[in-house]
């Protein structure tokens, strides 16, 4: 026989009615779940069973903020709703990509593309912009940029040329590395790639 780790909580009709009334008045499902010792889904299920709705707190102002890039988590906290509710209402309103590539100013897209073309990594660009790496990657893909394979970024051409020149002048790998800001092994690999060992 399997033991149940957590006993199931059954609400009597009076408790269920009180819980639904609080939910309809604006209490969050998570706070009521804790208060009544049930799952959040149970709170919503009881509300659906009696046809109790909640006042729609996802106003057009909230949707406008979401569309302009305000995170759903921030709006959900402010409205005492779940993140999923904010996103669901936004999708119903036709907002599928808040504050993303479509609304990004052309200058900003160009800056991201130029940074990537100079060899900067996606995560570095994302960190500088205060965005996620998926956002930066999506901007680059939308701009038609071919994404480099993962790994070390390619060495800028001017740096590779300087390494080659210094090696031909007889400098050691360590000395070149100190000059250009790279490790001796990176300098050696650059020299092998340019066959100036």
Per the domain annotation, does 133 fall within a domain? Answer: yes
Q: Which domain does 30 fall in, by range?
A: 13-49
Residues 6 or more apart in contact with residue 29 via CB below 8 angstroms: 23, 40, 41, 43, 44, 82
| Residue range 87-132, pLDDT digits in tens | 777 777 777 664 543 445 565 788 888 988 888 888 888 888 777 7
Is 55 within a domain?
A: no
Residue 87 placed within a domain: yes
> Could you write out the DSSP letters of every residue in 3-23?
PPSSPPP---HHHHHHHHHHH
Number of separate domains in the chain: 4
Long-range Cβ contact pairs of 167-173 (< 8 A, separation 24 or more): 167/191, 167/196, 167/197, 168/196
0.95 surpassed by pTM: no
Could you tell me which of 30, 50, 49, 48 has the C-alpha nearest to residue 40?
30
Q: Say if 6 falls within a structural domain.
A: no
Residue 4 lies in a domain: no
């Amino acid at each position: 026989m399997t033991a149940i780790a957590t006993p199931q909580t059954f609400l009597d009709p009076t408790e269920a009615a009180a819980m639904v009334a609080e939910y309809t008045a604006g209490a969050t499902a998570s706070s009521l779940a804790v208060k009544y010792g049930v799952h959040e889904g149970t709170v919503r299920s009881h509300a659906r069973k009696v046809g109790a709705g909640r006042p729609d707190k996802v106003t057009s102002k909230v949707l406008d903020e979401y569309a302009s890039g305000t995170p759903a988590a921030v709006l959900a906290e402010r409205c005492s709703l779940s993140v999923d509710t904010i996103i669901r209402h936004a999708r119903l309103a036709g907002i599928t990509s808040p504050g993303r590539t479509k609304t990004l100013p052309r200058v900003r897209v160009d800056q991201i593309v130029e940074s990537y073309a100079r060899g900067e990594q996606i995560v570095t660009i994302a960190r500088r912009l205060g965005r996620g790496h998926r956002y930066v990657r999506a901007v680059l893909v939308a701009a038609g940029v071919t994404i480099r394979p993962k790994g070390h970024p390619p060495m800028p051409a001017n740096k590779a040329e300087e390494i080659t020149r210094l090696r031909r002048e007889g400098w050691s790998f360590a000395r070149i590395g100190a000059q250009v800001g790279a490790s001796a092994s990176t300098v050696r690999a650059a020299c092998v790639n340019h066959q100036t060992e």
